[in-house]
Amino acid sequence: MNIVSDFSDFDFANGTKLPAKATLSLGNASFRPGSSVAYVPVTLDRPTPNTVIARIITVNGSGTYRALSGYNYQTVDTVVIFRPGDPLVQTVAVPIIGATEGQQFQVKLREAPWGGLQGQSTATIMASSTAIATARATGMFREPRSFAATGTLQFELLKDTHRRSPDGGWDRWATSLAHGRTQIANGETGLYLDSSIFPGIEGPVYWGTNGLVLHTQKLKTPISYGGQTWYYGSSVLDGRNFLATQIGYGQYEWEAKMPSRRGSWPAFWLVSTSGWPPEIDIYEGFGYQSYWDFDRHVAHTLHIGANGTRYDQRGVTIQTQQAYGLSGYSQGFHRFAVDIQRDYITWFVDGVETYQSVNPFRGFRFYPIMDVAVKTDGAYDDGSGDMVVKSFKIYSAP
């Protein structure tokens, strides 16, 4: 069940405004010498409109009274998650081995919080017999939801009924985007291909043994298109004209295996039937970024704006192995889903809630896009450049 929204009266200005982000801070703390645990406060400055995730680690103290990991306290490397509606204070418990008066160590954020702003990023934790020991936070924190298809099954991707064409239609996918076959503005180097337009290429979309393959490639023969020479091929299925794939509220759920090739940019995303933005990114894989780990990272994002202009974007890149125990997205098949309700949009990976945001897009309808873009000028030959879609279902709700 969704929680009661703190933002039910917020004016989202027809999908062009979002409430301010919450700021997350670590607080200094004290514990009594001889205690077995120290509690470190982690605080939001306001109710959050979306999930905020912070990775927190312990660091040895400094100076004469420094406390050391393994001697005075046990190392902590943990994740703190605030979901919309949660209390504004949590505590991280650090096991104490043995600390004497005045000994201190620190905790710090590993990076800026995902989904929130960064306040105090380092806190000092000190053994003191005179200061009031920092208490463990209390309050009801919501457990992550499990994915459930509560709508009516409206569409299922099946080999026998799958249809596509260059521009799509009421009963078929398009192999292009609404604005064409290129996305030069965001630095993509791949041309979105269709073998009926560019004969002789490796098939950009085909049914394989395990599902529908969206294939990307470095072209054996470059293609001249739109006044430019293209050396790479991207792949997309776009539902802008495919009526059965469009819903206002309900759930989208993909089961897919992701590429592992550096320079590939796989995504499942939704665009408003009235034009971009709004946009809801269910999954995005930034393989053109050096830090990106296809097996451990997942990105979820909202884009707000109107009339072809993005005003803001809000979302997270999550190291899901540490945050949720989820990994291996290029090694096997995993489920990526979104539940769009009037109050909240909730994202899931393998049935586990990974992110939630207030829904600024009330009254909009969406169509889905699955694609693998290319953003590289390199060899583009390491690992797999393909997304394999094993299952895709859409459930509509009133």
Q: What is the pLDDT of residues 163-212, one digit of tens each?
A: 999 999 999 999 999 999 999 999 999 999 999 999 999 999 999 999 99
Q: Tell me the domain boundaries of the chain.
A: 23-127, 152-397
Pairing of β 249-257 and β 387-397: antiparallel
**What are φ and ψ of residue 57, in 5° steps?**
-130, 155
Q: Do the Cβ atoms of 131 and 32 come closer than 8 Å?
A: no
Pairing of β 89-95 and β 37-44: antiparallel
What's the N-to-C CA distance of the chain in angstroms? 16
Distance CA 282, CA 107 (A): 33
Looking at the predicted structure, is the pLDDT value of residue 49 above 90?
yes
Task: Taking the CA atoms of 93, 115, 269 and 371 in sequence, report the sign of the dihedral they define.
Answer: negative
Q: What would be the CATH architecture of the domain defined by 23-127?
A: Sandwich (2.60)
Distances (CA, A) of 160 to 41, 56, 246, 301, 390: 56, 49, 20, 33, 14
Residue with tokens 């009924």: 161
Distance CA 142, CA 380 (A): 43
The DSSP secondary structure of 178-242, one letter per residue, reads TTBS--GGGT--EEEP-TTTSTTSPPSEEE-SSSEEE--EEEEEEEEETTEEEEEEEEEEE-TT-
- Residue 6 has a pLDDT of 84
Looking at the predicted structure, is the pLDDT value of residue 52 above 60?
yes
- Residue 5 has a pLDDT of 67
Q: What is the pLDDT of residues 281-334, one digit of tens each?
A: 999 999 999 999 999 999 999 999 999 999 999 999 999 999 999 999 999 999
Q: What is the pLDDT of residues 223-271, one digit of tens each?
A: 999 999 999 999 999 999 999 999 999 999 999 999 999 999 999 999 9
How many percent of the chain have pLDDT more than 70? 99
Closest C-alpha to 161, from 203, 226, 207: 207
- Residue 2 has a pLDDT of 45
Annotation: CATH topology of 152-397: Jelly Rolls (2.60.120)
